[in-house]
Structure 1
Amino acid sequence: MSSENGRDPGERGEQLALIRETVRKAKAPRAKPRTWRGAALAGKLPVARVLVDKGAVHLDKLWDYAVPAAMDAEAQPGVRVRVRFGAGTGKVREGRREGGGLLDGFIVERIAESDYRGPLAALSQVVSPEPVLAPSLLALCRGVADRYAGSLADVLQLAIPPRNAKAEAERFPPPPPPPPAVPPLASWARYPDGPAFLDALARGGTPRAVWTALPGPHWPWELAAAVAATLASGRGALVVLPDGRSAARVDAALTELVGRGAHALLVADSGPEERYRRWLAIRRGAVRAVVGTRAAMYAPVADLGLVALWDDGNSSHGDTNAPYPHARDVLLLRAVQEKAACLVGDLGRTVEATQLVENGWARSLEAGRDQVRAAAPLIRTVDDREVARDEAARAARLPSLAWQTARAGLARGPVLVQVPRRGYVPRLACERCREPARCRHCAGPLEAPGGERAMECAWCGREAPEWHCVACGGTRLRAQIVGARRTAEELGRAFPAVPVRTSGRDHILDTVPDRPALVVSTPGAEPVAEGGYAAALLLDGWALLGRADLRAGEEALRRWLGAAALVRGQEDGGTVAVIAEPTLRPVQALVRWDPVGHAVRELAERAELGFPPVSRMAAVAGRAEDVAELLEAAELPPGAEVLGPVPLPVTDPGRPRRPGDPPVGEAWERALVRVRPGQGAALAAALKAARAARLVKREGEVRVRIDPPDLG
């Protein structure tokens, strides 16, 4: 059957549909052409493999982008670029994304052809032609990310400082000065193997040592001598210290030994522009030695011959940003990758450093007992004879031993008083029932700021002038802990003719003159006295030893050694009074000045109980169901043991949040996963893969931390 005009009705319908589709396409807005369409690409190696600055572990891989011909010369491996990358909730394809925003990244390599068969997005911009990501730095960051179950992008954010265009535009720095001569330093002769260690560095060797330094002011110059010996061999050196004050001491010693221009100081106080300028001088080869704090462990030193770490037990060496690497592990990894010498030094000895000696990776570098007795001060405790004279000596905060030591020391010079806590009375409790005093608004701890001011909350700052105990109704308070300012006030009343100075977080003194004075300090903030302190008081030892922490004894001994090492030697009359239970192992180790023996016994107990560093551990935290699902999905190494989970304290809204705290108000749990030695890499890989799979599926948040510092 046909229509009136002789055409088939079906054919006419198809034509009408074709006309409608043509009109619809004509009215529709045309898509903008992609950057890779119509633009000439680089003729040789037209594909760039880019590490995008996106820290999620499921995106921890390289992405392929086309290199426009206009960017061919500058788009070299190691430079910073900007690329179009997916944002929002759309699907991500390798190297391609419909829409998306611009992200920073680094070109890792240039290749001839991509494995991805679809069209590639092009590089949007070469931010700078400066090749800041060298292959050695990339390998180091990759190793750190794998060890700590983190992403490479997160590690690069810690390793490479933010760009400063003004610093990059400056002229290329001059070449480094010629290698200096090996400086003669008599203090290294106090160690039987000290001269041999320096000689090996000067000859281009790669010795590895765990160094227990003698007390006194010599260790900065001894570290500087090790750096100078390495420079004499034509190689570079890197020294990482826990804080800017100790870095400044080594910087001054190294300047005295080799002069200016041979090394750079990398500390946070330098400011972002100056820090980046110095970092560029290191990368360009104008500086061969680096002294700095934690972030300096990634410094791009050319031809690295020595990595050195001072005070590896200090918590400042642990990064507070994901994936939370520790400077000791980073430097050990760097020493292996770059075939450099390694020196782990401290006044004491950590169990991790002791394990390096026990398994033969490093040799112990320490002085003989005669040298120790000559350099260390006399250590006195509240023993039985003291108790016989003063029955309240064991319980008193300042027994007669402390007063006698302070009085005798002030006759000869300054006296150091170490107090574990800062503030006036930082912790208060009900006098009747010992219930801790807390704020009625946020439940934070109340503290007495001193003077005429009323009690206030340590979290929200609100005052509590009319406090009463919620448990028994009492209105009288007692001090649970006495702070540094209250101690200074008490000592000032006891010695009215002697000046009292304080050093703590709010105001840290660098040095004090060699004249009678009382210097009250918190641990780590002790100023250096010219000529050394005549005496020292180590108060409130129970506050350090009584912490529910696996490292309580080790940490207490480390802090005591740091303060006692500033006191004159026993031959010069230096005396230290430690107010703690004298029978405890850390106190006895201080009396004998035997940190190595203490660390060896601690390591043996850890091995028997299966605790780190003999075993490897990971902490998995999140909501109960999320933790259980991740541990069930993870392909853990054979023999892995899951401890817990246990509930974590709920984060109160008014409390200052610390890194790793759960979200405010959420009930989280934490489980510990323990594996045998040698399975740490497999544990990190399994947890990282399981966490990445959850992120792809957009399931609940789970935090993973390898080698957590706190197992409580």
Structure 2
Amino acid sequence: MRGAAAVPGARLSVPSGTNEAVSSQDQRPDGPAAEGAAPGPPAAEGPEQLALLRETVRRAKTPRAKPRTWRGAALAPELPVARVVVNKGVLHLDQYFDYAVPAELDADAQPGVRVRVRFGAGAHRVREGRREGGGLVDGFLVERRASSDYSGALAALAYVVSPEPVLSPGTLALARAVADRYAGSLADILQLAVPPRSGKAESRPSPEPLPPPPAPEPGSWARYGSGPAFLRALANGGTPRAVWTALPGPHWPEELARAVAATLSSGRGALVVVPDGKRAARVDAALTALLGAGRHALLTAESGPEERYRQWLAVRRGSVRAVVGTRAAMFAPVHHPGLVVVWDDGDSSHSDENAPFPHVREVLELRSAQERCAFLLGSTSCTVEAAQLVESGWALPLAAEREQVRAAAPLIRTVGDEELARDEAARAARLPSLAWQTVREGLKSGPVLVQVPRHGYVPGLGCARCRAPARCGHCAGPLEATGEDRTGCRWCGRDANGWHCPECGGTRLRARVVGARRTAEELGRAFPAVPVRTSGRDQVLDAVPGRPALVVSTPGAEPVADGGYAAALLLDGWALLTRPDLRAGEEALRRWIDAAALVRPQGEGGTVVVVAEPTLRPVQALVRWDPTGHARRELADRAELRFPPVSRMASVTGPAAAVEALVASAALPPEAEVLGPVRLPQPPPGRPRRPGEPPVGEVWDRVLLRVPPGSGAALASALKSAQATRMARAGTPQVRVRVDPLDIG
């Protein structure tokens, strides 16, 4: 659909009817008269029929508004061709399309603005002076050109949605690179990169930019050997790349704020991406305390669409040079960026769940390379991908000495399976004696955190005789206790009255997994004088006071305590460690360290009790507070097995025949390995279908494709081309392609 070549400055001939400007006058009346049919007599002579007849006759006599066309009308005197990316996320349309620019839109139709264009079957085909088809779709104008290489007549731009340029060349280049890396379309990435428009926010002017602040003092960065040098490099305009293993405690938001301030002092911008709004608020408060208001923008969903777009516009217009936000902020249009930061890259919130599933860490790595800015990956733990960045030499480690680690970390104590079996208190109430003692001592000086891997009351029940999982007799869903006297199915909601075990015939149920609400109830009975608060899926607490209290939380929802927690219990460690996932050990250690980092140092009495087998590698890494060593050992094991991130992988999921056809048609690199296909199990009846699962009654397969380092781009390109060819044919079944899937278990 690209236009014909034209002499610069010459007038392009656009056939009449190819593209009408949209206005209230262009709407056509509905009904038979509007289609040219003569109105017939009413079926009866009642008042309603007579009124309908009069209205039909009136509309038939009303002259039609003629559509505005561009036949013979002047187009833009210079650069009359607009290159547009349309908001169609299908791969076979992942290209630019050329449109003619009418003279009346010349001033507003500038690169980066939102436009509306005719697109679809027949949008550029004209017969007898009338457009054959094509509807209005959104798009972005990315370039103005003097000519087009399309040989046919060009349709004209329908109109410019807003003269506000929202798509910068840097954002467009980054979006294209991300789309190619993840075998996706540019339109899908731009939907993530550019927030929805708010006319009210666009009408408000952004404030004038403030002058660069002075370079900050190192502050708590002095605890890290290379910390002050890292800040000096940022302040001097350098582009260091580092993997930062942060010390436990409340100082990391302030340390991030100092890194941002050092970058701003060099006249450049900075971007910080965190997993959730709770941590974004902490960094926001630290930046405000260090630099004052007006120097940074906060981009989170909690702000609301209009406020978020207003802040985003302030960044795009150059009013502020620093951004703190959640996942979508990774594309924030920061002017002259000098530093990009991702905090806690192991959190699953950093991976987008919409195609093509980009990850914040990988996007910011691309952005650091394209825009030649510094890169900082920070966390209190360490992922295998972070360890690989250091191992490859792409980034340098930024960590404290062991003396500083021991001074900042709490005391870690373990309770294994053998101790639990001998402990009468553990058999009676699931908490070992060491845990009870730790709670009592901790409540004397402050709040105590209790981390429970499952939400709810008793989300897992089993037979009290043979320990087999209890299933619903109607839909085979898992049974759960939602209260003291209520047991039902988690999928269909039916009561479990009259249940009996199909394995042994037993009729009594026992708890296999105890949830956060049940744990809070048990602790409330054991400590009746102490307030018990819960934080989880239903309600997530941001902070709690430093007074004695029991705080029961699921992983990732732990609130920050004023002055730190006096103690913490990490219960049911087996539930995190036994998940059928390649990242089970890494994820368990990350969850434990995130919770333990909120506890006071050992010198102030801080103690953490983890209920898990002490000999396991993640437990030992927690005791030593050595997440980096654990990540290095995991990386070495994966290198022997050629698992990610040492290798690059892609998963292809869908109907068996479609998956086989796509893999067979893809021009895979010669070194690619095809693992599978593996038949995916049907989702049990009664349970909602999850993403990537087959519909009921369909046979789906999954194939894993593995390539060595350096061939990831070729693999993504081959899958994208094969997928685009399939999608260009109507009626082909949908196949899901995901590059670098988080779960390959």
Fold in common (TM above 0.5): yes
Structure-2 change in CA distance of 1:384 and 1:59 (3 Å): closer
Q: Equivalent residues in 2 for 1:61-100 (5 A)?
A: 61-86=95-120, 98-100=132-134
Contact 1:617 1:674 in 2 (8 A): yes
Structure-2 change in CA distance of 1:133 and 1:388 (3 Å): closer
**Aligned-partner Cα distance in 1 for 2:743–2:221:** 36
Q: Equivalent residues in 2 for 1:547-558 (5 A)?
A: 547-558=579-590
The aligned residue for residue 741 of structure 2 is 708
**Aligned-partner Cα distance in 2 for 1:439–1:447:** 10
1:648 shift after superposition: 1.5
Q: Equivalent residues in 2 for 1:546-625 (5 A)?
A: 546-625=578-657
Deviating 4+ runs (over 6 angstroms): 90-94, 391-396
Q: Equivalent residues in 2 for 1:321-470 (5 A)?
A: 321-382=354-415, 390=423, 397-452=430-485, 454-470=486-502
Deviates more, 1:694-703 or 1:539-548: 694-703
Q: TM-score, normalised by structure 1?
A: 0.92
Q: Which amino acid aligns with 1:198?
A: L
**Aligned-partner Cα distance in 2 for 1:126–1:488:** 57
Secondary structure, counterpart of 1:562 in structure 2: helix
Secondary structure, counterpart of 1:532 in structure 2: coil
Structure 1 residue runs of 5 or longer lacking an equivalent are 1-26
The answer on 1:125 being equivalent to 2:159 is yes
Contact 1:420 1:543 in 2 (8 A): yes
Structure-2 change in CA distance of 1:378 and 1:182 (3 Å): same
The aligned residue for residue 200 of structure 2 is 166
1:197 shift after superposition: 0.2
1:66 shift after superposition: 1.0
The answer on 1:292 being equivalent to 2:357 is no
Q: Which amino acid aligns with 1:562?
A: D
**Aligned-partner Cα distance in 1 for 2:259–2:386:** 19
The answer on 1:482 being equivalent to 2:514 is yes
Sequence identity of aligned pairs in percent?
74
**Aligned-partner Cα distance in 2 for 1:154–1:213:** 34
Aligned with 1:690 (options 722, 734, 737): 722
**Aligned-partner Cα distance in 2 for 1:215–1:180:** 28
Offset from partner CA, 1:669-705 (integer Å, 9 cap, x none):
1010000101011000000100111111232221100
Q: Which amino acid aligns with 2:699?
A: A
The answer on 1:540 being equivalent to 2:572 is yes
**Aligned-partner Cα distance in 2 for 1:351–1:586:** 13
1:655 shift after superposition: 2.3
The aligned residue for residue 45 of structure 1 is 79
1:663 shift after superposition: 3.3
**Aligned-partner Cα distance in 2 for 1:592–1:585:** 11
1:470 shift after superposition: 4.6
**Aligned-partner Cα distance in 2 for 1:437–1:216:** 42
Q: CA RMSD in A?
A: 2.3
Aligned with 2:135 (options 94, 97, 101): 101
Q: Which amino acid aligns with 2:82?
A: A
1:512 shift after superposition: 1.4
**Aligned-partner Cα distance in 1 for 2:167–2:587:** 37
Structure-2 change in CA distance of 1:154 and 1:93 (3 Å): farther
**Aligned-partner Cα distance in 1 for 2:131–2:473:** 52
Contact 1:652 1:665 in 2 (8 A): no
1:393 shift after superposition: 6.8
Secondary structure, counterpart of 1:478 in structure 2: strand
1:652 shift after superposition: 4.5
The aligned residue for residue 91 of structure 2 is 57
Contact 2:420 2:432 in 1 (8 A): no
The aligned residue for residue 20 of structure 1 is none
Contact 1:49 1:64 in 2 (8 A): yes
Offset from partner CA, 1:236-288 (integer Å, 9 cap, x none):
10000001110000100000000000001111011111111111111001111
Offset from partner CA, 1:369-402 (integer Å, 9 cap, x none):
0000000000011269967984897998311111
The aligned residue for residue 304 of structure 2 is 271
1:119 shift after superposition: 0.8
**Aligned-partner Cα distance in 2 for 1:198–1:204:** 10
1:657 shift after superposition: 3.6
The aligned residue for residue 678 of structure 1 is 710
Contact 1:589 1:598 in 2 (8 A): yes
Structure-2 change in CA distance of 1:233 and 1:91 (3 Å): closer
**Aligned-partner Cα distance in 2 for 1:478–1:548:** 23
The answer on 1:505 being equivalent to 2:537 is yes
Contact 2:340 2:368 in 1 (8 A): yes
Structure-2 change in CA distance of 1:480 and 1:665 (3 Å): farther
Structure-2 change in CA distance of 1:647 and 1:36 (3 Å): farther
**Aligned-partner Cα distance in 2 for 1:644–1:142:** 31
1:432 shift after superposition: 3.5
Q: TM-score, normalised by structure 2?
A: 0.88
The answer on 1:253 being equivalent to 2:286 is yes
Structure-2 change in CA distance of 1:303 and 1:394 (3 Å): farther
Offset from partner CA, 1:201-226 (integer Å, 9 cap, x none):
11111111000000011001000110
**Aligned-partner Cα distance in 2 for 1:615–1:97:** 51
Contact 1:297 1:330 in 2 (8 A): yes
**Aligned-partner Cα distance in 2 for 1:129–1:660:** 40
**Aligned-partner Cα distance in 2 for 1:299–1:84:** 29
Q: Which amino acid aligns with 2:174?
A: L
Contact 2:110 2:163 in 1 (8 A): yes
Deviates more, 1:246-255 or 1:401-410: 401-410
Q: Equivalent residues in 2 for 1:163-312 (5 A)?
A: 163-170=197-204, 172-312=205-345
1:642 shift after superposition: 0.7
